[in-house]
């Protein structure tokens, strides 16, 4: 290990304690990457576990003095490589900062540290009759800090929106160790720029979020659930369009294609219709007769579109089983082979065209591609299944990944709806946002992190006036 590396490691250990600064390669390797298993990852020099904001301040001050890159990380549930390690860097794992600091029913807000698990937050506020809506598929283990970093959505976006819609204020440690508090506790407030939203979705490139003040909603009522199957993509797309144009606002509207239906049925033995071209799952949580009426109206739209099968239920347990089938789509595909998961959002009027396009890409590249997604907001997750040990399959898989991004942009969509750019879509960001927007991004990054210490290599390529420190031996 170099003298320089020994110096900054000793400083961190003195301040945080030996149990918070890990350097054993067998341990640090387990924090090198997120769930995007094919994204490149380096080897961290140290994995650090802060317990409070002061610890994060200490880490950033040491990093700034020695020019050491820092990669903020939550539970590692990300799907874009955004928290993957960089050689010689500090991976800053926020999971020990997991306190719910305050619940205020009167103000309908909660104050949390970033390591709080999404489901734990939901459970914590449920006793007050409140609800935190964003619910990524990994809600039972992903952290709020990671949700903030990528502006996560989830199954309930169609009615409730995404993470940024619930952010009132943030505490953020900047690259030089200064602590920024931005936002407010009030419902309204326009004093200064909305800096809180600048950090939401910034993927750890602008600062380390150490506290969040989040808005809550009244707890939803017992849901009514619908499942419908269709023989064609056009029928499915017609239902989604008519849900929007007729003014229905289900709390959930999800779609799975035939590849996903079969994979889930193989895994769960759920007696799904293996011949259906698409499965639509919807819920209404408005409660009582209102929910039943909303779901019946949606069921009628499905019948008018030519659905093969329509089933509704007011039984919460049965509804949970249907949602479990949807949530297990990606794990089920992972049982078939290695997966390359995409994240493209298109206008809701183009969902059918996107699904058909993915089928065409699968045929052209001779690969299995399963599509599952949030039909209510157009956010689709095409998942390419292949054997990474087969060089030809691997090459075709990455080509298909690019084909899907190209298709999404051609349909007026975006290259990422909720997973983030991370490290696997760097070459696509400028194509979507253009050179002027990319220059603005670089200006903001330069203003807040001029040395480029935070998550270098994520979101976009940023040239900082520094050299990386020597990698410890």
Q: What CATH number does residue 118 fall under?
A: 3.30.465.10
CA atoms within 13 A on the CB side of 129: 4
Instruction: Name the domain boundary from 218, 242, 258.
Output: 218
What is the three-class DSSP state of 349?
A: helix
Give domain status of residue 433, yes or no: no
Distance CA 335, CA 47 (A): 30
Give domain status of residue 179, yes or no: yes
Reported as type and span, the H/E element at residue 229 is strand 224-230
Instruction: For residues 295 and 239, state if they share a domain.
Output: yes
Reported as type and span, the H/E element at residue 27 is helix 25-28
DSSP string, 419-430: S--TTTSHHHHH
Give domain status of residue 452, yes or no: no
Domains: count for the chain: 2
468 has pLDDT over 50? no
Reference 471, options 92, 62, 66; nearest CA is 66
Instruction: For residues 261 and 402, state if they share a domain.
Output: yes
**What is residue 352's predicted lDDT score, i.e. its pLDDT?**
93
Give per-residue pLDDT as tens, 297-338: 999 999 999 999 999 999 999 999 998 999 899 999 999 999
Contact status, residue 255 vs residue 187, Cβ threshold 8 Å: no
Distance CA 267, CA 443 (A): 48
CA triple 34-139-411, angle to 5 deg: 75
Instruction: For residues 143 and 237, state if they share a domain.
Output: no
Instruction: For residues 398 and 251, state if they share a domain.
Output: yes
Q: pLDDT band for position 432 (50/70/90)?
A: very high
- Contacts with 313 (C-beta within 8 Å, 6 or more apart), sequence order: 224, 225, 319, 322
Instruction: For residues 189 and 235, state if they share a domain.
Output: no
Instruction: For residues 271 and 330, state if they share a domain.
Output: yes
- The reported pTM is 0.92
Instruction: For residues 307 and 214, state if they share a domain.
Output: no
The proportion of the chain whose per-residue pLDDT surpasses 70, expressed as a percent, equals 97
407 has pLDDT over 60? yes
Instruction: Name the domain boundary from 218, 248, 281.
Output: 218
467 has pLDDT over 50? no
* CATH number of the domain that residue 261 is part of: 3.40.462.10
Give domain status of residue 54, yes or no: no
Give domain status of residue 88, yes or no: no
Give domain status of residue 112, yes or no: yes
37 has pLDDT over 80? no
Q: pLDDT band for position 381 (50/70/90)?
A: very high
Give per-residue pLDDT as tens, 329-377: 999 999 999 999 999 999 999 999 999 999 999 999 999 999 999 999 9
Mean pLDDT, the chain, rounded, equals 93
Distance CA 15, CA 26 (A): 24
> Which residues constitute the domain of residue 391?
224-410
CA 180 → CA 98, 144, 171, 173, 209, distances in Å?
20, 18, 6, 6, 9
Instruction: For residues 110 and 146, state if they share a domain.
Output: yes
Q: pLDDT band for position 38 (50/70/90)?
A: confident
Instruction: For residues 213 and 301, state if they share a domain.
Output: no
Rounded to the nearest angstrom, the gap between the alpha carbon of residue 258 and the centroid of all alpha carbons in its chain is 24
Give domain status of residue 163, yes or no: yes
Give domain status of residue 51, yes or no: no
Distance CA 90, CA 175 (A): 13
Rounded to the nearest angstrom, the gap between the alpha carbon of residue 111 and the centroid of all alpha carbons in its chain is 21
Instruction: For residues 234 and 145, state if they share a domain.
Output: no
Instruction: For residues 211 and 229, state if they share a domain.
Output: no
- Contacts with 254 (C-beta within 8 Å, 6 or more apart), sequence order: 155, 280, 281, 282, 326, 372, 373, 374, 375, 376
**What is residue 473's predicted lDDT score, i.e. its pLDDT?**
41
CA 356 → CA 278, 360, 371, 407, distances in Å?
11, 6, 10, 10
Distance CA 420, CA 60 (A): 24
Contact status, residue 103 vs residue 124, Cβ threshold 8 Å: yes
**What is residue 363's predicted lDDT score, i.e. its pLDDT?**
97
Instruction: For residues 257 and 400, state if they share a domain.
Output: yes
Instruction: Name the domain boundary from 193, 218, 243.
Output: 218
């Amino acid at each position: 290990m170099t003298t320089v590396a020994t110096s900054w490691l000793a400083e961190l250990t003195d301040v945080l304690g030996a149990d918070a600064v890990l350097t054993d390669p067998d341990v640090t390797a387990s924090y090198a990457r997120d769930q995007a298993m094919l994204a490149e990852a380096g080897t961290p020099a140290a994995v650090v576990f802060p317990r409070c904001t002061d610890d994060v301040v200490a880490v950033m001050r040491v990093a700034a003095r020695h020019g050491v890159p820092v990669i903020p990380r939550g539970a590692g549930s990300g799907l874009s490589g955004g928290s993957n390690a960089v050689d010689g860097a500090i991976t800053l794992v926020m999971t020990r900062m997991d306190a719910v600091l305050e619940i205020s029913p009167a103000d309908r807000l909660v104050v949390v540290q970033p390591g709080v698990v999404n489901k734990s937050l939901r459970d914590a506020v449920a006793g007050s009759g409140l609800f935190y809506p964003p619910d990524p598929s990994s809600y039972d283990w992903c952290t709020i800090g990671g949700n903030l970093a990528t502006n996560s959505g989830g199954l309930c976006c169609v009615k409730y929106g995404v993470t940024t819609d619930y952010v009132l204020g943030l505490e953020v440690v900047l690259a030089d160790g200064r602590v920024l508090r931005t936002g407010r506790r009030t419902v309204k407030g326009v004093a200064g720029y909305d800096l809180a939203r600048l950090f939401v979705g910034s993927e750890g490139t602008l600062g380390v979020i150490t506290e969040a003040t989040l808005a809550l909603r009244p707890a939803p009522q017992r849901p009514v659930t619908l499942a419908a199957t269709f023989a064609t993509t056009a029928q499915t797309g017609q239902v989604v369009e008519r849900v929007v144009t007729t003014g229905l606002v289900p709390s959930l509207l999800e779609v799975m294609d035939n590849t996903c239906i079969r994979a889930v049925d193989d895994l769960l033995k759920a007696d799904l219709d293996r011949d259906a071209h698409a499965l639509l799952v919807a819920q209404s949580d408005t409660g009582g007769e209102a929910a039943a009426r909303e779901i019946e109206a949606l069921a009628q739209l499905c019948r008018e579109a030519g659905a093969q099968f329509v089933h509704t239920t007011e039984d919460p347990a049965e509804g949970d089983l249907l949602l479990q089938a949807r949530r297990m789509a990606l794990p089920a595909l992972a049982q078939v082979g290695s997966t390359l998961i995409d994240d493209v959002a298109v206008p809701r009027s183009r969902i059918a065209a996107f699904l058909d396009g993915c089928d065409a890409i699968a045929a052209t590249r001779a690969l299995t591609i399963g599509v599952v997604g949030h039909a209510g907001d157009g956010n689709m997750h095409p998942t390419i299944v292949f054997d990474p040990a087969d060089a030809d399959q691997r090459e075709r898989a990455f080509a298909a990944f690019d084909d899907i991004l190209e298709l999404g942009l051609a349909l007026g969509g975006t290259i990422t709806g909720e997973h983030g750019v991370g490290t696997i879509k760097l070459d696509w960001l400028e194509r979507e946002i253009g050179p002027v927007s990319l220059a603005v991004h670089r200006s903001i990054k330069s203003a807040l992190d001029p040395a480029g210490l935070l998550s270098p290599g994520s979101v976009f390529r940023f040239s900082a006036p520094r050299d990386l420190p020597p990698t410890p031996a």
